[in-house]
Structure 1
Amino acid sequence: MTTTKSATVLGATGLVGKSLTQQLLNDERYHQITVLVRKPLSVSMFHDPLKKLVPVVIDFEQLQDYQGYFTVDHVYCCLGTTIKQAGSQKAFRRVDFEFVHVAAQLARAQRASGFVWISSVGADAKSSNFYLRVKGELENAILTMPQLKHAAAVRPSLLVGDREDVRTAEQLGIKVGKVIAPLMLGPLKKYRPIEAADVAQQMIGLQHF
């Protein structure tokens, strides 16, 4: 008899999170997908004929109070914002560093067998760029965390997909990136724009089954 897995997803309504959650629902290796969200999901957001999806509305400011939802095989963290959306560097760090770090700690405490999250190409704790510095600091904090099994980060470049929010600068970067992508070879290949669905697939591939 095949043993199926359970997973918890944070950030299931974002660009990568949506694709990831749907891929998990379609994956016969999983029998239950818990998604932690800020507000109730639209019934049309996901195709879930086997009723695997368990949406749970939580207060992310009190994420540590929901540790029971991390008693799963795999935890996927797709949380992320922009400085513009967050309103300040401090608010950005709260989401992109603190929330993700707490999620990793909860995954460790509940002995999840895998924790995968989204970082960024160019992440570097010593970077002069605030965004990349925060991403790098988070990688260092999680990857050196004792007793956290199979922690891994994906490091995408610009994400391609249908967003609800309009990010003008990012959209321009994607358009330019698509044009020059064929020229981005060797070490530059990692900077090519990437489909959100491909990032989600990479995340699943990093888990241990």
Structure 2
Amino acid sequence: MSLIKSALILGASGLVGRQLLQQLLDDPRYASVTCLVRRPLAKQQYRDPHNKLQPVVIDFEDPESYQGYFTVDHVYCCLGTTLKRAGSKQAFRKVDFEYVHVAAQLARAQRAKGFVWISAVGANAKSKHFYLRVKGELENAILRMPQLAHAAAVRPGVLIGEREGDERMLERVTANTLTLLKPIMVGPLKKYRAVYPEQVAREMIRLQPFS
């Protein structure tokens, strides 16, 4: 199979982002993978036997200065934080809405063939829950964006896995509980199952256009 696609990842150091990066590096359909990151990636975080990876440290406060990197086939956005880690609703919205929305705009401007990002199960712009409301508002903003080819969101439930340097005790307890309840979470409840980050990464790749 020929190497025909190029990819860009934002948020490659996160729980899903790390899995996505490795899957793209292992995927024979991709010839190059560019990562826009805040800090240099540690080499022990990935295997790159085909020398596909180009990590680029950027200032996320000035994304337009790096718009040339969006000239790829597929853009993947794994950016996200928590309200606790962000410190305020304004700071949370900046990461989970503004950064992702700007990434979508840059993908459109550079005519990327596909843009996939991580939303959340239950995302709804009318939700009373701040987190879900922001996720829903972002979905509306991106999916209604004209001339953005093949935009798609994945809506995972609680993620199973350890995040480096990020204490999320409640999330871990919830993930463990939902894992135990998985056998009875069927039908409408199936979408609320806890999921592994590698599953989310595979779904993101599946949603990209390869024709």
Q: Fold-level match, TM-score > 0.5?
A: yes
Please list every run of 5 or more consecutive structure 1 residues that lacks an aligned counterpart in the other structure.
Answer: none
Task: Tell me the amino acid that sits aligned with residue 190 of structure 1.
Answer: K
TM-score normalised per structure 1? 0.98
- Shift in Å at residue 123 of structure 1? 0.1
What residue in structure 1 maps to residue 34 of structure 2? 34
- Shift in Å at residue 2 of structure 1? 3.2
Q: Deviations over 1:98-128 (max 9, x none)?
A: 0000000000000000000000000000000
Q: Write out aligned runs for 1:119-138 (5 A).
A: 119-138=119-138
Q: Deviations over 1:117-165 (max 9, x none)?
A: 0000000000000000000000000000000000000000000123112
What residue in structure 1 maps to residue 163 of structure 2? 163
What residue in structure 2 maps to residue 193 of structure 1? 194
Distance 1:109 1:153 in 2: 19
The answer to whether 1:87 aligns with 2:84 is no
What residue in structure 1 maps to residue 103 of structure 2? 103
Task: Tell me the amino acid that sits aligned with residue 168 of structure 2.
Answer: R
Distance 2:101 2:134 in 1: 11
Aligned residues: 209
Distance 2:108 2:35 in 1: 18
What residue in structure 2 maps to residue 63 of structure 1? 63
Distance 1:159 1:194 in 2: 5
Provide the secondary structure at the position in 2 that maps to 1:44. Answer: helix
Bigger mean CA offset, 36-45 vs 72-81 = 36-45
Distance 1:116 1:137 in 2: 16
Distance 2:148 2:208 in 1: 13
What residue in structure 2 maps to residue 25 of structure 1? 25
What residue in structure 2 maps to residue 11 of structure 1? 11
Provide the secondary structure at the position in 2 that maps to 1:160. Answer: coil
Provide the secondary structure at the position in 2 that maps to 1:19. Answer: helix
Q: Deviations over 1:26-66 (max 9, x none)?
A: 00000100000001111211100111000000000111211
TM-score normalised per structure 2? 0.97
Q: 2:3, 2:28 within 8 Å by CA — same for their partners in 1? A: no
Bigger mean CA offset, 60-69 vs 157-166 = 157-166
Distance 2:43 2:198 in 1: 21
| Inter-CA distance 206–8: structure 2 relative to 1 (3 Å threshold) | same
Distance 2:17 2:3 in 1: 25
Distance 2:118 2:43 in 1: 26
Please list every run of 5 or more consecutive structure 2 residues that lacks an aligned counterpart in the other structure.
Answer: none
Distance 1:138 1:122 in 2: 13
Task: Tell me the amino acid that sits aligned with residue 35 of structure 1.
Answer: C
Provide the secondary structure at the position in 1 that maps to 2:61. Answer: helix
Taking only aligned residues, the RMSD between alpha carbons, in angstroms, comes to 0.9
